[in-house]
């Protein structure tokens, strides 16, 4: 490599590390806001977040960045770079091209608004006060529409948002995949609804000590290989994971006194996110590639651990006695009854507590509403009515208040439009990856039943985690499974699982 190019590359890497440092500080402040920061500090904290985000944005779109990218993104120069350096240049160029026309003051206003909005959402959800939250959401959607104009409209306005979370994802592709999935899952759900072989669930409707829930969650996280020297578990209104760097990946859960399963599965879910970011290769640390490659791939890891491992019979063959020790009220409940209860299929209002089958309908509802907001002119004031109508249409039930309806998710309060499709994509990616994992590790169920989860983590690290963002989602799924994303693996998995549980 020529000396001049080497010097340019080193200067470029120093600049990207500075941007990454800003992102880490911003991430830490966001984590603090959602895990117990004093309410009176929210306005000033929001302004601080806005200022730091603007500084990072200015660096990403600076003349200095432009000069490095003009030099390093030339084809003959890219060929000389190491793989991860080439990928970093390409990622930064994509971000620069998309964002260089956005005024920094818009970024600052948006960041301040969403920081305040997330805090306002917590109160609004608790009080079921959509009217009080609506002004925040109206302004967020307005700014998001302005950003779409700056970024450049793709095939549709909503396509622009989808691409932020899943590169090259389009409405056309998502519509096709969801239609293919629905064609398999709706008949399966109808068979289950008609089955007389319903699981008993009344034993789950008891009071469960939150302190014991926390102890069990910590135990399970340790079993799956979560490194507590590189992370921590806290409580928040809505569970989430925050990856500051591979040595500091924090997660939260929420303990419901009358539901022992909620914290268990949200801990497994967020733990899956955390394992991904804790195990990114050290060579990527400090760079903008030290994160998940897309939200769909990220969700594949959380859903794989939460459902395909955490709701499996081999998993509870090993860990059910531990759960009974923490909660003696389950001591008379048989393992098979517990397993069937946690895998019951029924229409429910809350997405994060939905079963694996109907969960995808929760996602399709949100996806269709977001398309209506950005492509069809749906007004923010009409969201509750639209939400309730779609729940009636898809799940046959209606929320009794907006807290369990349109206000249940944190995502829109942070401006994360285009995100929700990633959850169902994650289910599809996960099923496809598990199919490959079973072929390469025939003893998988025996390992899980013995509580030996570390070989699974090692396989995932080798195939997925270590690459961070240095491979695209399509490159990754092709390398791991030998084919492009295929929704049939998810449908096959769900059909096999629920045919057995419901004796269809």
β-strands 248-253, 241-245: how paired?
antiparallel
**Using alpha carbons only, how large is the chain's radius of gyration in Å?**
23
Rounded CA gap, 232 and 251, in Å? Answer: 6
Within 13 A of 155's CA, how many CA atoms are on the CB side?
A: 10
Sequence-separated (6 or more) residues with CB below 8 Å from residue 148: 157, 160, 161, 374
Q: Are 422 and 360 in contact (CB under 8 A)?
A: no
What does the alpha-carbon distance between residue 39 and residue 22 come to, in Å, rounded to a whole number?
24
Residue 36: closest CA among 176, 236, 239: 236
Catalytic residue among 166, 270, 291, 368: 270
- Residue 404 labelled as part of a binding site: no
The token pair that represents 53 in the structure block: 């985000």
Q: Measure Cα distances from 403 to 67, 140, 214 in Å.
A: 49, 19, 25
Listed residue (444, 456, 203, 446) closest to 323, CA to CA: 203
Cβ neighbours of residue 61 closer than 8 Å, sequence gap 6 or more: 96, 99, 100, 102, 104
Query: Residue 249 is inside which H or E element, if any?
Result: strand 248-253
| 29/48 Cα distance (integer angstroms) | 9
Residue with the two structure tokens 């699981």: 199
First to last CA, the chain: 64
> DSSP letter string over 406-463?
TTS-SGGGGT-TT-THHHHHHHHHHHHHHHHHHHH-TTHHHHHHTT--HHHHHHHHHH
30 known ligand binder: no
Tell me if residue 270 is catalytic: yes
Nearest to 125 by CA among 405, 487, 497, 443: 405
Tell me if 24 is assigned to a ligand binding site: no
The Cα 503–Cα 69 span in angstroms is 59
Q: Are 231 and 248 in contact (CB under 8 A)?
A: yes
Q: Could you say which DSSP state residue 246 is in?
A: T
* Residues 15, 59 contacting (CB under 8 angstroms): yes
DSSP code for 253: E
Enumerate the known binding-site residues for Zn(2+): 269, 273, 299
Active-site positions read: 270
Binding-site residue ranges: 269, 273, 299
């Amino acid at each position: 490599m020529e000396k001049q190019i080497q010097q340019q590359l080193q200067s470029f890497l120093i600049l990207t590390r500075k941007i990454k440092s800003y992102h880490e500080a911003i991430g830490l402040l966001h984590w603090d806001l959602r895990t117990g920061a004093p309410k009176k500090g929210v306005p000033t904290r929001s302004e601080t977040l806005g200022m730091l985000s603007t500084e990072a944005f200015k660096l990403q779109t600076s003349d200095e960045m432009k000069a490095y990218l003009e030099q390093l993104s030339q084809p003959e120069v890219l060929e000389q770079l190491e793989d991860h350096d080439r990928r970093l240049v390409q990622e930064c160029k994509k971000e620069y091209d998309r964002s260089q026309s956005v005024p920094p003051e818009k970024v600052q206003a948006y960041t301040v608004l969403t920081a305040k909005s997330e805090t306002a959402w917590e109160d609004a959800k608790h009080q079921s006060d959509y009217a009080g939250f609506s002004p925040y959401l109206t302004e967020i959607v307005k700014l998001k529409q302005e950003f779409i104009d700056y970024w450049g409209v793709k095939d549709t306005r909503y396509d622009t948002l989808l691409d932020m979370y899943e590169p090259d994802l389009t409405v056309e592709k998502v519509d096709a995949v969801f239609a293919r999935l629905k064609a398999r899952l709706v008949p399966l759900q109808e068979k289950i609804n008609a089955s007389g072989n319903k699981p008993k669930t009344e034993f789950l409707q008891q009071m469960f000590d939150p302190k014991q829930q926390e102890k069990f969650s910590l135990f399970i996280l340790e079993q799956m290989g979560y490194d507590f020297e590189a992370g921590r578990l806290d409580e928040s209104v809505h569970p989430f994971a925050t990856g500051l760097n591979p040595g500091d990946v924090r997660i939260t859960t929420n303990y419901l006194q009358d539901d022992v399963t909620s914290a268990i599965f949200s801990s497994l879910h967020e733990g899956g996110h955390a394992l991904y970011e804790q195990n990114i290769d050290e060579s990527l640390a400090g760079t903008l590639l030290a994160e998940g490659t897309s939200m769909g791939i990220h969700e594949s890891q959380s859903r794989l651990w939460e459902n395909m491992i955490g709701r499996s019979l081999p998993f509870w063959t090993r860990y059910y006695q531990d759960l009974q020790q923490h909660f003696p009220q389950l001591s008379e409940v048989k393992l098979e009854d517990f397993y069937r209860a946690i895998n019951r299929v029924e229409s429910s209002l809350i997405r994060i507590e939905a079963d694996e089958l109907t969960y995808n309908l929760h996602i399709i509802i949100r996806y269709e509403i977001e398309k209506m907001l950005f492509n069809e002119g749906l007004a923010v004031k009409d969201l509750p009515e639209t939400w309730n109508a779609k729940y009636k249409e898809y799940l046959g039930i209606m929320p009794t208040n907006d807290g369990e309806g349109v206000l249940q998710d944190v995502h829109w309060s942070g401006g994360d439009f285009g995100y929700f499709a990633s959850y169902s994509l994650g289910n599809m990616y996960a099923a496809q990856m598990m199919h490959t994992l079973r072929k390469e590790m025939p003893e998988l169920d025996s390992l899980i039943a013995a509580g030996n989860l570390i070989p699974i983590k090692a396989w995932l690290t080798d195939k997925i985690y270590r690459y961070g963002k240095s491979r695209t989602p399509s490159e990754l799924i092709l390398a791991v499974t030998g084919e492009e994303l295929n929704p049939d693996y998810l449908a096959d998995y769900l059909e096999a699982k629920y045919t057995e549980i419901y004796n269809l």
